[in-house]
Amino acid sequence: MKLVAVTSCPTGIAHTYMAAEALESVARKKGINIKVETQGSIGVENQLTEGDIEDAHVVIIAAGTNISKERFSEKTVLEIPITEAIKDPEGIIEKAINLEPKIKKLNKEAEEINKKEISVSTGPYKHLMTGVSFMLPLVVAGGLIIALSFIFGIDAFQQEGTLAAALMQIGGGAAFTLMVPVLAGYIAYSIAERPGLAPGLIGGMLATVIGAGFLGGIIAGFVAGYTVSYLNKVIKLPKAMEGLKPVLILPLLSTLTVGLLMTYVIGLPLKSIMDGLTSWLQRLSGTNAMLFGGILGSMMAFDMGGPINKAAYTFAIGLGSSNIFQPQAVVMAAGMTPPLGLALATVLFKKKFTKDEIETGKAAWIMGMSFITEGVIPFAVADPLRVVPSIVMGSAVTGALSMMFDVTLRAPHGGVFILPIPNAVGNLGGYLISIIIGTIITALLVGFFKKKAV
């Protein structure tokens, strides 16, 4: 018995490798040979060869982004949300080994299982997360380079010919300008593959020029992708002319459609919405700001890297493209708090954790400091009714305090390792206080709610 798998998550950092490790661990215990290809932020690792795929009983795809399945066209494929591979790897392996391999297309049993999986693993959510995964490096690199320009003074970049001006041009003029087009382009690519890329990129650039922001980019990406997909189905050409579709007909017609819709129909209303949202967030203060931060923070903890977490994170990143940086501070702080809180709880309340959980707590320190919320998953899976409310409350407090202290963050990833960079964080002291208080509250709530370990 041999299985092969592919794991990939939107950020390509935590879930990708945790899912691979979980599947490999269960397979080893069951004496099953498995090879897992990871498609993470640093590219493809442990790549499956044609021989690996040929010899495999079943292919498991555990992904939160769109994965090309062309090379698996002759194999039975079990496609699942990546979070399921982390939470229930044993169940996934059992499903896979019980499927019958069948050449050319999915067997009926595999199709039925795939249909029953969590709906957010496919469709619009997965397309959005594919776009976010390609946009994220631009956000992080651009934000940090802009922050570096501030080392020379907040207004130093205004003086032409200086290093500060060059850094601002690289980070703000190039990286941040590309954010929305790349988001839109790869949403469209996820829906319609290569023919969707050009209209998606162009629609995203129009959204940037018009001022429709990340909302305009998201809409442009979906319009481009579904337009290409529809045109590809309805346009029938003689075989000799079929090659014109992907390089001429589809890009031309879909780009015209998206461009005209963005220019005359969608762009200006979305610009008004973005302007209103930006103005509202800039005016937030006091209780309203804390309430907003608390909601955003609790979303980061609720499903620990799942759809709700990613929705909050995507929202905050999008606002960063409109120079609203407080939400970015909230989501990173609130995402760090759950694993840090559980790590602290394993130190303060050792009798309430097993030896294995205490060892896991040591790793949770590093994952929390690295802004890998998924470090709390082993604890949440073992005792969800007590752990999940605790981390949600702790992260809500963290988010509320971050907004109260008016903390800003220009690079929405990297955890504590980006904090020493001058001007990457606005009000660093307030940020550290928010994270520390949230961590302590999480730990105390976990200690209060959990029963003594058996």
Active site residues: 9
- Asked whether 187 and 65 are in contact (CB, 8 A), the reply is no
Which of these, 28, 84, 67, lies nearest to 307 by C-alpha position? 84
Is 132 in contact with 314 (CB distance < 8 Å)? Answer: yes
Closest CA to 327 of 408, 445, 446: 408
Reported residue count of the chain is 454
> What is the 3-state composition of the chain as percent helix, strand, coil, each rounded to the nearest 5?
70, 5, 20
Q: Which residues pair with 44 in a beta bridge?
A: 39
The structure tokens 């890998």 sit at: 372
Closest CA to 128 of 69, 180, 65: 65
Helix, strand or coil, per DSSP, at residue 142: helix
Burial 266-277 (b: 16+ CB within 10 A, else e): bbeebbeebeeb
Q: Residue 429 to residues 24, 365, 434, 435: CA-CA distances in angstroms?
A: 42, 20, 9, 10
